Amino acid sequence: MRLDELLGIKGDIVMAEPSYQNNLHINESLGLLRRIASDLTRFDEPVNARMIVIEDGKEAYALALYSPADDEEDCCETWMILTTALDSENQGLFEELLHTIRDHVKSDGVTTLTLEKTPFKDAIREYYSLKLMENLGKYALNPESVHNRPRVERIKELVGRLKKYSGIEIRGKVIEICCGNGMATAALHELGIEPICVDNDPYSITEGLLARTLKPERTIVADATELSRVLKGEEFDTAIGFMLGDIDNFNRPIWKQILLETMKVTKNGGNLFFTVRTEPEARFIDETVNKLAVGKVIRPDKEETLYDRWIYIGKKK
């Protein structure tokens, strides 16, 4: 659901942080709140302003600040959204500034909304995805080239085979790391699986959003080396990554961190399913996760020369 619908507000919505990942360290937001709080504390009179405090019964984790339309500036009414939903380290400071601001606003301008964090996070994912499409849509290569029917059919067949012969099942809540433009994600959707997808390349993500292989509310542009922070508080039954790599001697530390972060967000007993192009890459995955998981490397189809040739499948201990 879109943020404006979720919060029941009308007008433009602007997130204070420039990207989803920036919400892990809300520097822009704190700067803005500090400036507003400092301006307000210079005066005794409460001001005529509108704000919504969003809380989940435990803490106030988001704030919406209203700016009216300005005909001279040709701008319409806007709500600026600031949140600690992904940055618990700054929760104390955020609430302190929020209280200072709230104490200086006339009480009829302040609304409190109780809302679970999960739908709020889905809505901010959707917000950033829609912004990407708006800003980068014109640079996206060719969304049509994302649709690769033979690969989709092969992945679907592979997933069915693994379930039958290895007991490795893609089920429950699924995270897909390094999803790229969602070419492989399309196969999961056709199997009725709706993963949360993460990749750090905004252009590939935009292409996938435009091609509808990626879903706006389930897609995040973020660096997977910080995955456990990006998905703070969330745990997954299955972790997937298609065509991870290329993994070489120079970038192995990065891929090691991506894999270890993926293990952190996977439940104990959760399923692991990673595909790569070469055998050394698959062996590297096995070596990296073998203290935390029981798994094996397989090559299911010797005919395939390009995609998903080698596979690591396993279960987190």
Ligand X SMILES: C[S@@+](CC[C@H](N)C(=O)[O-])C[C@H]1O[C@@H](n2cnc3c(N)ncnc32)[C@H](O)[C@@H]1O
Give me the residues that bind ligand X (CB under 6 A), please: 178-180, 183-184, 198-201, 204, 223-225, 242-243, 245, 254, 258
Shortest distance (Å) from residue 141 CB to ligand X: 13
Q: Which H or E run includes 153? A: helix 149-166
CB of 279: closest distance to ligand X in angstroms? 16
Q: Which of 292, 233, 289, 283 is nearest to 259 (CA)?
A: 289
Name which of 236 and 242 has its Cβ closer to ligand X. Answer: 242
Residue number with the smallest Cβ distance to ligand X = 180
Contact yes or no for 264/230 (Cβ under 8 A): no
Q: Which is nearer to ligand X, 65 or 221 (CB)?
A: 221
Helix (H, G, I), strand (E, B) or coil at 171: coil
> Rounded to the nearest whole angstrom, what is the least distance from the CB of residue 213 to ligand X in the complex?
9
Structure-token pair, residue 214: 């990626």
Closer by beta carbon to ligand X, 216 or else 245: 245
Minimum Å distance from CB 135 to ligand X?
18
Query: Between vectors from CA 80 to CA 215 and to CA 3, what angle results, nearest 5°?
Result: 30
| Least distance in angstroms from the C-beta of 280 to ligand X | 15
Burial class of residue 246 in the structure, from the number of CB atoms within 10 Å of its CB (0-12 exposed, 13-18 middle, 19+ buried): exposed
Q: In whole angstroms, what is the distance from residue 79 CA to residue 63 CA?
A: 10
H-only helix segments in 80-116:
91-103
- Here the tokens at position 300 are 């299911």
Are residues 255 and 200 in contact, defined by beta-carbon separation less than 8 angstroms? Answer: no
Q: State in angstroms the smallest separation of the CB of 184 from ligand X.
A: 4
CB of 265 to ligand X, least distance (A): 13
- Rounded Cα gap, residues 7 and 1, in angstroms: 10
Q: Which is nearer to ligand X, 95 or 199 (CB)?
A: 199
Of 199 and 217, the one with the shorter C-beta distance to ligand X is 199
Nearest to ligand X of 46, 143 (CB atom): 143
Cβ proximity to ligand X: between 183 and 209 the closer is: 183
Quote the CA–CA distance of 257 and 251 in Å, as a whole number: 10
